Amino acid sequence: MLLFRQKPPTDWLPKVLGNLPAVLIDHAHLERKAATSALNLEKYRDLYPHVDQLNAIAIEELQHFQLVLELLKRRAIPFGQPYPSPWIAGLMKSVRNGARHQAIDHLICCSLIEGRSCEKFQILASELKDIDPELATFYAGLVESEGNHYATYLLMARGVDEAETDRRLDFYLDLDARLIQEPNPLPMLH
Ligand SMILES: [Fe+2]
Ligand SMILES: [Fe+2]
């Protein structure tokens, strides 16, 4: 179902497994940003009919944020500063101006971020099974929700303009494939 054209680089998993406390702090911020992204999408006129659906996603992301915060507390990891993601910044830099184009591009970026989270949580759920079973179960529990967000955002964009969405998705999938290969030594998910 995920349309990605490139796998995460081979050094991603060892980097994450070697920095789990820092990655969990980054994950908390990722969920916080996912909640605010859902709310930010409500500014586009083309998405007014979806305001309830976007609120529901924002609430769900806020619940994920809270779950990560509770995990941090259980593990005595203090909440800390977020790192900016070069991959997310690279995607967002290509969002065009102009109401409809901006809404479609923004939705595609949000969809790809959710899709990559879904993919990476799936990898972590399986890789952490023996190392950290609690965390493996935690990540397995998030896969379906992030996968649904990925599909929902893509469907929303297609509802605005199907041909334009597919054209831009082709562009963004190439951009994602290129950006995801760029080295990023920081302990973060994306
Ligand atoms: Fe989430
Ligand atoms: Fe999500």
Give the pLDDT score at 95.
Answer: 98
Query: What ligand has the least distance to the C-alpha of 150?
Result: 2
Give the pLDDT score at 110.
Answer: 98
- Tell me which residues have their CB within 5 A of the ion that is ligand 2: 34, 114, 146, 149
How far apart are alpha carbons 4 and 167 in whole angstroms? 15
CA 34 to ligand 2 center in whole angstroms: 6
Average pLDDT estimate for 94-101: 95
Q: What is the pLDDT of residues 24-53, one digit of tens each?
A: 999 999 999 999 999 999 999 999 999 999
CA 146 to ligand 2 center in whole angstroms: 4
CA 87 to ligand 2 center in whole angstroms: 17
The encoded tokens of residue 90 equal: 């690279």
CA 64 to ligand 1 center in whole angstroms: 5
Q: What is the pLDDT of residues 125-175, one digit of tens each?
A: 999 999 999 999 999 999 999 999 999 999 999 999 999 999 999 999 999
Give the pLDDT score at 1.
Answer: 76
3-state helix, strand, coil in the chain (%, to 5): 75, 0, 25
Interior/surface letters 93-127, b for 16+ CB within 10 angstroms, e for the rest: eebeeeeeeebbbbbbbbbbbbbbbbbbbbbbbeb
Q: Are 95 and 109 in contact (CB under 8 A)?
A: yes
Give the pLDDT score at 66.
Answer: 98
CA 134 and chain centroid, separation: 22
Q: How confident is the model at residue 2 (pLDDT cuts 50, 70, 90)?
A: confident
Give the pLDDT score at 101.
Answer: 97
CA 146 to ligand 1 center in whole angstroms: 6
Q: What is the pLDDT of residues 52-88, one digit of tens each?
A: 999 999 999 999 999 999 999 999 999 999 999 999 9
User: Look-up: residue for tokens 């493996």?
Assistant: 136
Q: What are the start-end ranges of the E strands in the chain?
A: none
CA 36 to ligand 1 center in whole angstroms: 11
How far apart are alpha carbons 104 and 155 in whole angstroms? 10
How far apart are alpha carbons 51 and 44 in whole angstroms? 10
CA 147 to ligand 1 center in whole angstroms: 10
CB under 8 A, 24+ apart: contacts of 163-167: 164/100, 164/101, 164/104, 165/104, 165/107, 165/108
How far apart are alpha carbons 67 and 140 in whole angstroms? 13
| Mean pLDDT, rounded, of the chain | 97
Average pLDDT estimate for 93-119: 97
Query: What ligand has the least distance to the C-alpha of 38?
Result: 2
Query: What ligand has the least distance to the C-alpha of 112?
Result: 2
CA 183 to ligand 2 center in whole angstroms: 24
Give the pLDDT score at 106.
Answer: 98
Q: How confident is the model at residue 111 (pLDDT cuts 50, 70, 90)?
A: very high
More confident residue, 121 or 98: 121
CA 104 and chain centroid, separation: 17
Give the pLDDT score at 161.
Answer: 98
Query: What ligand has the least distance to the C-alpha of 66?
Result: 1
CA 100 to ligand 1 center in whole angstroms: 26
